[in-house]
Amino acid sequence: MKTIAFIHSIDKISQDNWLAQFNTLLPDETIVLAEQLTDTQASQIELAIVANPSVDALKRFPNLIWVQSLWAGVEKIVDTFRLLNSEKEHPTQLVRLIDPYLAETMAEAVLTWSLYLYRNIPEYMQQQKQKVWNPIPCPNIETVQVSVLGTGELGTVSMEALVSQGFNVNSWSRGHKDIKNVTHYSEKEGLNSLLQKTDILICLLPLTDHTYKLLNKKTLGLLPKGAKVINFARGGIINHDDLINALDTGHLSHAVLDVFEKEPLTKDSPLWHHPKVSVLPHISATTNVETASKIVADNIKNFRINGAIPESVDLEKGY
């Protein structure tokens, strides 16, 4: 049997759930918690499974060939791997989780909350509180411009769901893409053009140096008056002070926020009580232990058979 280190900072219940899956799916491997290994043993480990590992924990494993993350988002550990690899002759490759189930779950959330905004549900909820009976006009769905920032797997499957529902769908990424039934934009000029025509903006971008605070006073100001925003990516992509100002002035009519720079969202955050904000507890697309562990196990089995390492993260780009 070969040993795989499990390096994490998750709670014990989650730890035991993952271990139970891996022990069943990988009977020819020994999965060992990082803290159970001596430094000498750790130096001999070539493969690790990680979930929010600390820098110090990873430093104990200098000879890792590649590391499998249990999350789709890896922005919290990219800098760690950049630092560690700068000191190594043979860099460790970081592999993020790519789970079709996760993409389907995200697509469900994107479609649900897009319809929520399209059918004016936030306004009706406010009217109910005020005992106001006032039908609000709703445009034909094919006239509604829904724009998705981010064209990775999550974005692609989400756009398919939006298109199938009848929305007019646009997308943006740094590079050019050809996406069926979607009008795509790229580069800074493309982002500006896309924002100016958007009724509902959906953020599914990875958090990188290039996307941090991408949605700010200037870019939010490009959206048409009354536009609505959904952020299912990372909290750091939106400047929340600028967002609140755009909502308070009436430039934007509503925001659905599932992610924040600090989670859980602090009790004193004005977002909790803002009448034009829907706060969600990071539930748009959660990792499914059963499907994710099978993907991780298959990646490891393939590596043992033919030495194939799954597509790894470009540490320069951050995704």
DSSP run (H or E) holding 29: strand 29-33
Q: Tell me which of 174, 251, 274, 282 is the catalytic residue.
A: 282
pTM, to two decimals: 0.94
The whole-number pLDDT of residue 1 equals 76
Judge whether 90 counts as a catalytic residue.
no
Instruction: Give me 173's structure tokens.
Output: 């990424």
Q: Residue 287 in 3-state DSSP?
A: coil
**Distance between CA atoms of residues 82 and 73, nearest Å:** 16
Judge whether 282 counts as a catalytic residue.
yes
DSSP 95-115: E----HHHHHHHHHHHHHHHH
pLDDT digits (tens, 9 = 90+) for 299-315: 999 999 999 999 999 99
66 to each of 19, 187, 280, how far by Cα in Å? 19, 32, 34
The whole-number pLDDT of residue 207 equals 96
Q: Which portions of the chain are predicted below pLDDT 70?
A: none
Q: Tell me which of 8, 96, 184, 234 is the catalytic residue.
A: 234
Do residues 162 and 111 make contact, with C-beta atoms less than 8 angstroms apart?
A: yes
**Distance between CA atoms of residues 165 and 153, nearest Å:** 19
The whole-number pLDDT of residue 93 equals 98
**Distance between CA atoms of residues 214 and 207, nearest Å:** 10
